[in-house]
Structure 1
Amino acid sequence: MIQQITKGIKISVKTKFNGTRLRNNTMYYVFAYFITIENTSTETVKLTDRFWKIYDSLNRTEIVSGEGVVGQTPILKPNDNYTYSSGCFLESNTGAMKGFYTMINLDTFEQFKVIIPTFQLLTKAISN
């Protein structure tokens, strides 16, 4: 598990290889990722946006950004956590993701970025 804390917000990431899938005559490697966001600070925060850079071993980079995560903009009080899962399709069998969440402190209305640490996307053959 990969973890990182920014301004009292702890991000934990696990990944899973889910096999291959043919889509539009292209073979893709399918990966799932599971993220837990834990508020270890003393203030209430709201996740408003996300920004991802997704890399594969074929030197392709995909940028994904937008409001919230999986259709949600969770509010986390002190000691709350929020877990969600999502996934991505790569044309190569290895890759990586990194990014950040934009959050707002609901006590001070300060907007800040929470780093999502770089994590690897590896097939079973490579991770063993």
Structure 2
Amino acid sequence: MVSAITEGVKVSVEVTYQPEFSSPHQQHFVFTYKVNIENNSPHTIQLLRRKWEIFDAGDEMKIVEGDGVVGQQPILEPGGSHQYISGCNLKSGLGKMRGSYIMEKIQDGKIFQVTIPEFQMISQIFNN
């Protein structure tokens, strides 16, 4: 698990290779990642947008952007947290992801960026 803290917001990510959904001989490797966002700031915040940079050893870097996370734009009170699970497919069994969230402080409308720490995606073929 990797973590990063930005302006009191802690983002932790844990990644898992999914061999039962992968087909290495067809260059299809599936990974899931569980993200936990903790609001340790004194402000109520809302996650508005996400941006991911996806690096695949067998392909070019991809950028994925959009509103919220898995269809939600959660509001986190001070001390609150939000957890979700998502996934990524790679052509190789080796890659990494990193990114950022755009957040808003509800009280004053201030927009700020929160770092999503870089994490590795390594399939079993590289671990044997």
**Equivalent-residue separation in structure 2 for 1:97 and 1:30 (angstroms):** 13
Q: Does 1:86 align with 2:86?
A: yes
Unaligned ranges ≥5, structure 1: none
Aligned equivalent of 1:120:
120
Q: Does 1:47 align with 2:50?
A: no
Instruction: Tell me the TM-score normalised to structure 1 length.
Output: 0.93
Instruction: Tell me the TM-score normalised to structure 2 length.
Output: 0.93
Deviations 1:57-80 (A, max 9, x none): 125111100100000000000000
* 3-state SS, counterpart of residue 99 of structure 1: strand
**Equivalent-residue separation in structure 1 for 2:116 and 2:110 (angstroms):** 19
Equivalent position amino acid for 2:18 in 1: N
Across the two proteins, how many residue pairs are aligned to each other?
Answer: 126
Relative distance call for 1:127 and 1:45 in structure 2 (3 A) is: farther
* 3-state SS, counterpart of residue 43 of structure 2: coil
**Equivalent-residue separation in structure 2 for 1:59 and 1:27 (angstroms):** 11
Unaligned ranges ≥5, structure 2: none
| Identical-pair percentage | 40
Equivalent position amino acid for 1:84 in 2: Y
Aligned equivalent of 2:5:
5
Q: Does 1:75 align with 2:75?
A: yes
Q: Does 1:63 align with 2:63?
A: yes
Any runs of at least 4 consecutive aligned residues in structure 1 with deviations exceeding 6 A, and if so which?
Answer: none
- RMSD of aligned alpha carbons: 1.6
Equivalent position amino acid for 2:77 in 1: K
- Considering fraction of residues, name the structure with more helix: 2
Equivalent position amino acid for 1:4 in 2: A
Aligned equivalent of 2:29:
29
